[in-house]
Chain A
Amino acid sequence: MAYQEDIALMAHLMRRAGFGAGRDELEARVAKGYQATVEELLHPETQPAVDDYTLLRYQPAALLPGGQPPMGNVNIMYHLVNTKRPLEEKMALFWHHVFATGNSKVDNYDQLLSQIGLFRERGMGDYRALLLTIARNPTMIFWLDNNENHGTAVNENWGRELLELFSLGVGAYTEKDVREASRAFTGWTFETKIPRLPYGRFPWKFEYRPEDHDDGEKEFLGHRGRFNGEDIIDIVVEQPACARFVCRHLYNFFVADEPQVPAWSIEAPRDQKAIDTLTAAFRQSRFDIRSVLRVLFNSSFFKEARFKHLKSPAEVVVGSLRFVGGQELPRPGYGDLSMQPAYMGQDLLNPPSVEGWHTGPEWINSGSLMARINFVASLVGDPSLPGVRAIIDRLKSKGSLSPEQLVDGCLDLLGPVEVSAETRQELVAQAKEWGQTGWASETSAKTADKRVGEMLQLIVATREYQFA
């Protein structure tokens, strides 16, 4: 039983810090140990990177995809599904959610992908450095109009969102601070790029124009000086509100669903002690995200938060594709596969606004629920896929299965998934319609494969399965 508990805990870690794992991988990781697995996840450089060259051999249009879907989505989906560094990708999604930048305005998936590349590279490092990187990122500059932020005519879009959505949260600054921060970032822009016709996309490049920078004195969050953008970031990261804001985001993403960000200035966190613990790690480590994550994944509040997080569409799609396996070749049809999160309400690389996506229960509406259930069901109901085959093989090795054994076996191997007594009762009732499941003869084996597929489909359709 203790071993089963180790498996369940490892499954929890892999669902949250990654995109889930099949039983073979979970067993190997349990053998390696929980803490060692956490360290491996925190050090992605110890695992091989995704082979971009293979992606480009088969889908060359995924390198510089321009403004139309789905080639940008193909690129990010290929990374998500094939990565051996799951936490690196998870952190890229995390920062994509926080620094939400969308193709709806940017119109250059290649620029969004290069921003995602920054998140991969720096997502677990120094938050101050990341903030500075994003302040200089041409994609972000364009998205929040900082190229229109001139020494003579201030545009506050970037200055405001930097404080409101990227670092401090509403209530931790005044309108004057917004104004002064914006002044400090005047002149932070990008070069005129080479246009896309006739040879395709070229990168955008940061440019600092001193002659367009307002070099006058500013007063920002109680400090006074002739601040430039970098000074603003230095002041921002030292604010107690900054630690609280970043850590609450991490808690919401990795531990348990919090209310939507705009409510954070009104509603207290669901677990203040947990936030305090993370905040302390953030400050002690001088804004090192890796250190905060280490504390988070090893904490009891994380270990006890099983199934307290409603899966995002990206988690649903990527988790399912990795689970069933066989997705290494970016084959024809990968485009539609890559758009699946969008069909469920999370259009990757194109969040609805700079606020990012609304998470938790807001992922669910009548349309998105059907889309997510049907997508996962179409995969787990296909016994030709390696991950489904692996479940069948493990069940088969137990011989003939009673209805209860079939249900419990499927629940176990799909997660383990924890369901309510009422749900289990319905699943068992369905299995009872089928009687014993066995692989003794060729015909019964065929029926048994089909029954397992149907049971798996019914399980992924449950309410409980929507949680991680």
Chain B
Amino acid sequence: MPLTTVARGRVYEWSHAVGRGAASGTGFNYPQTMCLAKGGVAYVANRGNENNFGMRVNEVKIGGPGQEELLAEFFQWGEGDGRSTWPFGVATDGRNVYVSDEWNNSISVFDSSGKFLRKWGKSGSGDGELMRPAGLVCEKNGNLIVVDSGNNRLQVFTGEGKFLAKCGKGGSGDGEFDQPWGITVDQAGNIYVADWKNHRIQKLSPQGKFMMKIGQYGKVPVPADAYAVTPLGPYLSASGTPGYPKAGLLNHPTDVAVDTDGDIYVADWGNHRVCVFDAEGNPVANLIGDAQVMSKWGQMSIDANPDMMKARRRARSLEPEYRFCFPTAVDFDPETDRIIVADSQRNRLQIYRKVRDYVDFQANL
């Protein structure tokens, strides 16, 4: 099982996993989106479940292998300021943290340690009104772009919540959206949106003008001797490394990230992979999840449950555990050249490193 993915001049090395399933505290509960702050800190927005458990944003220091650390949690389920029903988007401008609640149609603002500051939002389709707000991203100038998913558009607000601009409408043409999910901006301020039900990424200019689209609808083929990890995949092949060819096909993509070289990473949610495209949108590689080493918090769960450890040893293969299962979010950390993936159904982050000093296979090793 390769932990290193090599393709067309790029090398991605799996680093480690962070997290475990937990409705509060040290772990995640169905991350929907994520954003990075300085110092390898991630804010993760967790959806939770119908027992009203798990909803929250947690602030986690990713660190190196075995160094994960919970810094804060906020936006838990409940009524009133600082509380949530359906947390979805999270973004930071380096100072404050913005979160969306797609049931209450609001944007809440917290300081970097999770103290509630203010909120805005009103249900509707007029300017500044929201319908199931999803992904968020902060622009360099401090403005906030909101993926106004139910209205199939983007809206731009000041950090104080003043409506500035909008773009897009429902549809499948260029610059049109169908229930978009995640969003990012590159160094030049270009906007990338995961156009979920249109199964593509759209790149827009900082002014919101359509520039490019990436991907088309397609499910990765199910191998003949498939082992279905869930009824909707991922599918593993008993006869070896799963072949995930067909780069460029996307199935309900949920998020996008751009690295310092301009490479584009797409969370291909329904295909359980992260697709790498070059800046022109040509497919380069796929990451499928390689979590062969337990996260620190995961190991704590195993240590407390000796029968789980026993069962793990008896399992024929742990490969289903390595793989992504509905990855929802992807981010690139320019400080460490790392790609962070929120592996939603497995309630963990998987971290890859983009290796720049890689020496190719040496026959004399």
Q: Do chains A and B touch in the complex (CB under 8 A)?
A: yes
Chain A residues in the interface with B (C-beta under 8 A):
52-53, 56-61, 63-64, 68, 70-71, 74, 110, 113-114, 117, 191-200, 202-203, 205, 331-336, 338
The stretch of B229-237, B242-250, B274-282 in contact with A is B229-237
Closest to B313 in A: A192
Across the interface, B48 reaches (CB within 8 A) one of A61, A64, A334, A336, namely A61
The stretch of B118-126, B183-191, B293-301 in contact with A is B293-301
Which residues of A lie under 8 Å from residue B354 when comparing CB positions? none
Instruction: Indicate if the CB atoms of B50 and A71 lie closer than 8 Å.
Output: yes
Known A-B contacts A191-B315, A195-B312, A200-B346; the reply to A59 vs B50 at CB < 8 A is yes
Chain B residues in the interface with A (C-beta under 8 A):
20-21, 27, 29-30, 32, 47-51, 54, 85-86, 103, 179, 181, 196, 227-232, 252, 270, 294-295, 297-298, 300-302, 305, 307-308, 311-312, 314-316, 318, 320-321, 325-326, 344-348
Instruction: Indicate if the CB atoms of A191 and B231 lie closer than 8 Å.
Output: no
Instruction: Indicate if the CB atoms of A192 and B311 lie closer than 8 Å.
Output: yes
Task: Give the CA-CA distance A113 to B228 in the complex, in Å.
Answer: 14
Which residues of B lie under 8 Å from residue A57 when comparing CB positions? 179, 181, 196, 252
Task: Give the CA-CA distance A193 to B47 in the complex, in Å.
Answer: 27
Closest to A60 in B: B30
Instruction: Indicate if the CB atoms of B229 and A202 lie closer than 8 Å.
Output: yes
Task: Give the CA-CA distance A63 to B229 in the complex, in Å.
Answer: 11
Across the interface, A199 reaches (CB within 8 A) one of B232, B252, B298, namely B298
Task: Give the CA-CA distance A195 to B308 in the complex, in Å.
Answer: 6
Known A-B contacts A53-B270, A197-B308, A198-B298; the reply to A334 vs B316 at CB < 8 A is no
Task: Give the CA-CA distance A199 to B298 in the complex, in Å.
Answer: 8
Min CB distance A138 to B, Å, is 13
Min CB distance B23 to A, Å, is 10
Tell me which of A59, A113, A198, A332 has the highest count of chain B C-beta atoms within 10 A of its own C-beta: A198
Task: Give the CA-CA distance A196 to B85 in the complex, in Å.
Answer: 26
- 28 A–B contacts, CB within 8 A, in A order: A52-B232, A53-B252, A60-B326, A61-B29, A61-B48, A61-B49, A61-B50, A63-B232, A68-B51, A71-B49, A194-B311, A194-B312, A194-B315, A195-B307, A195-B315, A196-B308, A197-B21, A197-B301, A198-B21, A198-B27, A198-B297, A198-B298, A198-B347, A199-B348, A200-B345, A202-B321, A336-B50, A338-B50
Task: Give the CA-CA distance A204 to B281 in the complex, in Å.
Answer: 39
Instruction: Indicate if the CB atoms of A113 and B316 lie closer than 8 Å.
Output: no
Which residues of B lie under 8 Å from residue A205 when comparing CB positions? 227
Closest to B27 in A: A198
Task: Give the CA-CA distance A197 to B306 in the complex, in Å.
Answer: 11
Known A-B contacts A53-B252, A63-B326, A194-B315; the reply to A74 vs B301 at CB < 8 A is no
Known A-B contacts A53-B270, A63-B232, A205-B227; the reply to A199 vs B321 at CB < 8 A is yes
Instruction: Indicate if the CB atoms of B228 and A203 lie closer than 8 Å.
Output: yes
Instruction: Indicate if the CB atoms of A70 and B305 lie closer than 8 Å.
Output: no
Q: Give the 9 A-B residue pairs with the shortest CB-CB distance, closest first.
A: A335-B50, A198-B20, A61-B49, A198-B301, A198-B298, A192-B314, A60-B30, A195-B308, A195-B311
Task: Give the CA-CA distance A195 to B229 in the complex, in Å.
Answer: 13
Task: Give the CA-CA distance A195 to B301 in the complex, in Å.
Answer: 11
Min CB distance A306 to B, Å, is 37
Instruction: Indicate if the CB atoms of A332 and B320 lie closer than 8 Å.
Output: no
Min CB distance B266 to A, Å, is 16
Closest to B343 in A: A199
Instruction: Indicate if the CB atoms of B231 and A194 lie closer than 8 Å.
Output: no
Task: Give the CA-CA distance A191 to B315 in the complex, in Å.
Answer: 7
Report whether over half of chain B's contact residues are helix, strand or loop; otherwise say mixed.
loop
Task: Give the CA-CA distance A194 to B232 in the complex, in Å.
Answer: 18
Closest to A61 in B: B49
Instruction: Indicate if the CB atoms of B50 and A332 lie closer than 8 Å.
Output: yes
Known A-B contacts A64-B345, A71-B49, A203-B228; the reply to A197 vs B302 at CB < 8 A is yes
Min CB distance B84 to A, Å, is 10
Instruction: Indicate if the CB atoms of B345 and A114 lie closer than 8 Å.
Output: no
Task: Give the CA-CA distance A47 to B179 in the complex, in Å.
Answer: 23
Task: Give the CA-CA distance A69 to B227 in the complex, in Å.
Answer: 27
Min CB distance B231 to A, Å, is 6
Instruction: Indicate if the CB atoms of B21 and A194 lie closer than 8 Å.
Output: no
Instruction: Indicate if the CB atoms of A332 and B311 lie closer than 8 Å.
Output: no
Beyond A197-B308, A198-B302, A200-B347, 15 additional contacts (C-beta under 8 Å) are A53-B232, A57-B181, A59-B50, A60-B47, A61-B50, A64-B230, A71-B49, A194-B318, A194-B321, A195-B307, A197-B305, A200-B346, A203-B229, A332-B50, A338-B50
Which residues of B lie under 8 Å from residue A331 when comparing CB positions? 103
Instruction: Indicate if the CB atoms of B316 and A192 lie closer than 8 Å.
Output: yes
Min CB distance B350 to A, Å, is 11
Which residues of B lie under 8 Å from residue A338 when comparing CB positions? 50
Task: Give the CA-CA distance A74 to B302 in the complex, in Å.
Answer: 29
Which residues of A lie under 8 Å from residue B181 when comparing CB positions? 57
Task: Give the CA-CA distance A333 to B86 in the complex, in Å.
Answer: 11
Known A-B contacts A60-B345, A63-B232, A71-B50; the reply to A194 vs B103 at CB < 8 A is no
Min CB distance A373 to B, Å, is 25
Task: Give the CA-CA distance A133 to B243 in the complex, in Å.
Answer: 28
Task: Give the CA-CA distance A61 to B30 in the complex, in Å.
Answer: 7
Closest to A113 in B: B231
Which residues of B lie under 8 Å from residue A58 when comparing CB positions? 86
Which residues of A lie under 8 Å from residue B51 when comparing CB positions? 68, 70, 335
Task: Give the CA-CA distance A311 to B29 in the complex, in Å.
Answer: 38
Instruction: Indicate if the CB atoms of A199 and B50 lie closer than 8 Å.
Output: no
Across the interface, B346 reaches (CB within 8 A) one of A117, A191, A199, A336, namely A199
Task: Give the CA-CA distance A191 to B228 in the complex, in Å.
Answer: 14
Instruction: Indicate if the CB atoms of B252 and A203 lie closer than 8 Å.
Output: no
Task: Give the CA-CA distance A336 to B308 in the complex, in Å.
Answer: 32
Which residues of A lie under 8 Å from residue B49 when comparing CB positions? 59, 61, 71, 335
Closest to A110 in B: B230
Instruction: Indicate if the CB atoms of A200 and B50 lie closer than 8 Å.
Output: no
Task: Give the CA-CA distance A194 to B309 in the complex, in Å.
Answer: 10
Task: Give the CA-CA distance A52 to B231 in the complex, in Å.
Answer: 10
Task: Give the CA-CA distance A110 to B347 in the complex, in Å.
Answer: 17
Which residues of B lie under 8 Å from residue A71 when comparing CB positions? 49-50
Instruction: Indicate if the CB atoms of B231 and A117 lie closer than 8 Å.
Output: yes
Task: Give the CA-CA distance A58 to B27 in the complex, in Å.
Answer: 20
Which residues of B lie under 8 Å from residue A61 when comparing CB positions? 29-30, 47-50, 54
Tell me which of A110, A195, A202 has the highest count of chain B C-beta atoms within 10 A of its own C-beta: A195
Task: Give the CA-CA distance A262 to B45 in the complex, in Å.
Answer: 52
